[in-house]
Chains A and B, each alone.
Chain A
Amino acid sequence: MDELINKRINEVLKGNQDSFEEIVLLFQHRLYHVCYRMLGSREEAQDIAQEAFVRAYSNLHTFDQKRKFSTWIFRIATNLCIDRIRKKKPDYSLDAQVPGTEGLDMYSQIAAAEDLPEEEVERMETQERVQYEVGRLPEKYRSVITLRYMEELPLQEIADILDLPLGTVKTRVHRGRDALRKQIGTM
C-alpha cells in the first residue's frame, strides 16, 4: 500500500498530475467520513476534505515518504476541520477557561451542536443519533473519538495525526468517552 502510494507521489512530483487522482480515490471515503463526523454537514465535509487533498497536492514535496501518507493527509484534514469549527462562532472570549474543567477553553465548547429537546432525540434514527451525540462533544474530544471509533485507528496513530503526546490522546479518549456517557445518561 505505502509502496504504491509513494510510487504515485513520485509520479505527481515529476509532473504527472493525473496520478494524484489515484491517491484521492484511495483515501477519499475515509477522509470524507472523518470530516463529516467532525463537522456534521455533508457540504462542509466535502469542501474541507477536498481542500485537504488540494493542500496535500501543493505541499507534496514536503511529505516524508518514510512516514505513512494516511497519517499525513489525516493531519491536514483534521487541522482544517478544527480551524473551520473555531471560525464558526467567533464572538466569544475563546481563550477563557471553562469553569470546572482541566485545561478546556472555550474553543473546545463552541463546536458542540445545539442541544435538542429530549423527545426529539428519542425519535432519532440510530445514525442520526450517533452523529448528534458526536457533534455535541467538545472539539478536543470529538477529533480523538472520531479517529478512534469511526476510523478505528490505534492510539499511537491518532497521536501522530494530531501531533499530541500519546498520554494526552489517551486522556482525551477517556474523557471523551465519559462526556459521551454523561450526554446519553441525561437523556
Chain B
Amino acid sequence: MTNCPIEVVQYMHEYLDGEISPEQEQVLNEHLATCEECQILFEELSDAVALLELADPMQAPIGFAEGVMARLPQSTQHKKKKGVNRWLRRHPLLSAAALFLILMSAALFSSYNTNDHFSVTMQPNLVIEGDTVVVPAGEVIKGDLVVKNGDIRIEGEVDGNVTVIRGEKYMASTAVVTGNIEEIDELFDWLWYKIKTAFKGLTPEKVEKQETE
C-alpha cells in the first residue's frame, strides 16, 4: 500500500459515503484490480460498515412518554387553571348541574334570610293577634294557609294545607285540618319545601292527587 496513490483510500470512503464520482470510481476499481493490499483494506472497511448495518433499531421502553410528561416542569397557576378547564370539559353535565345548584341555592338562601317579617296567606275569617294567626272556632277557611315568622292557633276548620315557617302551631281540640300540616324551622326543611312547591307548580295535578289520597 506504500506505493499506492494517497487518494485511493479517500476514494474508498467516498464510495462508502455514496459520494464518489464516476471518474473516481473508475480510478478506484482499476487500482483494486491490481493491488491486493488495497483490496483487503476495502473489504475490511466494507465489513465494518456491514456490521453497523446489522444493528436493529430499538424501541423506547413502554411508559417512556408518560415518564417525560411526569418530568416536565409545572407552572402551578397554569396547571390549576388547566385542571379546572379540563374537568369542566370532561363533565359537561355535572358542570351544568353544579352551576345550577349554586345559583339555585344562592337564590333560596337569600329568600330564606331576607323574609324574616311576619306574613300570612290572607283568607277571609282569619283573625290576626300580633304575630299569631287565629282560625276562630266555628269558622271554615277554604284554601291553603302559609304562615311565615309567626304562630298559628287553630280552633276552627281549615279545608286545605297548613304550613308554618319558623313558627309554632297550636291545635285546639275542635281544630280540623283536611290537608297536611307542616312546620318548617331548619334551613334544610326550607330548601325541601321550596323544591317541593317548585315541583308542585310544575305538575300540579299529580301532586294534588297524591295529597288527597
Contact = CB atoms under 8 A, between A and B. Distances in A.
Interface in B30-80: 41, 44-45, 47-49, 51-61, 64-65, 67-69, 71-73, 78
Main secondary structure of the interface of B (DSSP, over half): helix
A155 B10 CA distance: 16
A129 interface: yes
Nearest to A129: B51
B60 A181 contact: no
Main secondary structure of the interface of A (DSSP, over half): helix
Given A24-B69, A127-B55, A181 B48 contact: yes
A126 B45 CA distance: 18
A20 B16 CA distance: 38
What is the interface residue range for chain A against chain B? 35 or more
Contact of A180 (B51, B54, B58, B60): B51
Nearest to A37: B55
B67 A184 contact: no
B69 A49 contact: no
Contacts of B13: 170, 173-174, 177
A87 interface: no
Contact of A53 (B17, B51, B54, B68): B68
B82 A24 contact: no
Given A25-B65, A46-B67, A36 B58 contact: yes
Interface stretch (A3-11, A27-35, A104-112, A113-121): A27-35
B106 to A, nearest CB: 32
Task: Give the 4 A-B CB pairs with smallest separation, nearest first.
Answer: A32-B60, A149-B52, A180-B48, A28-B60
Given A17-B82, A177-B45, A29 B52 contact: no
B45 A130 contact: no
Contacts of B10: 174
